[in-house]
Amino acid sequence: MSRSLSSLAITPEELTSLLRIFPSGLVAVDLETTGLSPLVDKIIEIAAVKITAEGVVSTYHQLINPLIEIPEFTIQFHGLRNEDLKTSPTIKKPLKEFWEFVGRHPMIAHNSTFDLGYLIKASHDFQIAFPPLDVFDSCRYARAIYKNREEKPQNFKLSTLSEYFGFPLNHHVAIEDTLACLKIMARSALVEADHKVALEKSFVFRLSNFDRNECFNYSTRLNALKDMVQQKHLVTLDYRGGSAVGRVRPVRPIGLMPLPQGPVLFAECLLTGMNKSFLLKKIKAYSKLEASYWRPGVIQ
């Protein structure tokens, strides 16, 4: 099946805008995956668009056989089933090709912590070296540009920003999302003469900050938590960190992710309504919470 074609294109004005932000060039990336946890889920599609300092645009695209069953709840978004991928390669060779394609260019993605989490974890699993690049987030960049403006998007989701800027998007097709990421960053930069502050706020991490042991390993005592995350259960945490030490924290798990400071549970805290990262090493105990038992103010 062909998913690498796109009606989107980077305009000359957008190209100039992007090279103003990244004069040495850049690479945008987007993935489709079997779920929302880079520590346990698998990549099923990689797409990347590279822009060199000379303004040359090239693409990389590959479907991946994950060798595990793709859950139905993710198929409804990206439309990829196991039978679509049975003749595709497994991740090791495409991952090497991808890093060769990236070279030494800085990288961007929309909500890049997730996308890069999968690439970093897979590279760790197969002992594939990745370059010490800076990673930026087009979602954070657009938010930094528009946060204090009277006229701004309703939110900073990829689909909302695409509609705001007036270009069509076939969402959850990786090459489309990659091009949309570039266009969003370029058009956001066009409304702000000084892009340096926004670029600083969009910085996520440097790949060399990932220690191979500290970032990926988690205790076997958290295996049941991994299952709860995969099964979309509400969870209560005894978490020894943050501003609510000593209080039971009810959370709605989103995914398990590697970060430079260690693997985290990314989840919506039901006490505050905010998405937060909970370091796994600071989770002292956890249990499943029945949804019918959760009401604001009941658990303190």
Indicate the residue among 209, 237, 256 that finishes a domain: 209
Q: Are residues 194 and 229 in the same domain?
A: no
Evaluate whether residue 159 is within a structural domain.
yes
Evaluate whether residue 205 is within a structural domain.
yes
Query: Which tens digit of pLDDT belongs to each residue from 146-168?
Result: 988 999 999 999 999 999 999 98
What's the rounded Cα separation, in Å, for the pair 3 and 1? 6
Which amino acid, 283?
A: I
pLDDT of residue 194: 81
CATH number, residue 243? 2.30.30
CA dihedral 178, 179, 184, 189 (to 10 degrees): 110
CATH number, residue 177? 3.30.420.10
Across all residues in the chain, what is the average pLDDT? 91
Evaluate whether residue 215 is within a structural domain.
no
Query: Which tens digit of pLDDT belongs to each residue from 179-215?
Result: 999 999 999 999 987 889 999 999 999 999 987 677 8
Q: How many domains does the chain have?
A: 2
Q: Are residues 82 and 23 in the same domain?
A: yes
Rounded alpha-carbon distances, angstroms, from residue 102 to 25, 129, 146: 10, 12, 29
Q: Are residues 155 and 57 in the same domain?
A: yes
Q: Are residues 28 and 135 in the same domain?
A: yes
Q: Are residues 190 and 78 in the same domain?
A: yes
> Greatest CA separation found in the chain?
59
Rounded alpha-carbon distances, angstroms, from residue 203 to 140, 191, 277: 8, 19, 17
Q: Are residues 111 and 55 in the same domain?
A: yes
Indicate the residue among 152, 175, 209 that finishes a domain: 209
Evaluate whether residue 2 is within a structural domain.
no
Evaluate whether residue 3 is within a structural domain.
no
Evaluate whether residue 164 is within a structural domain.
yes
- pLDDT(297) > 70: no
- pLDDT(289) > 70: yes
Query: Which tens digit of pLDDT belongs to each residue from 50-104?
Result: 999 999 999 999 999 999 999 998 999 999 999 999 999 999 999 999 999 999 9
Q: Among residues of the chain, what percentage have pLDDT more than 70?
A: 93
Range of the domain at 229: 220-293
Q: Are residues 66 and 203 in the same domain?
A: yes
Q: Are residues 204 and 244 in the same domain?
A: no
- pLDDT(139) > 70: yes
pLDDT of residue 32: 96
More confident residue, 217 or 135: 135
pLDDT of residue 216: 85
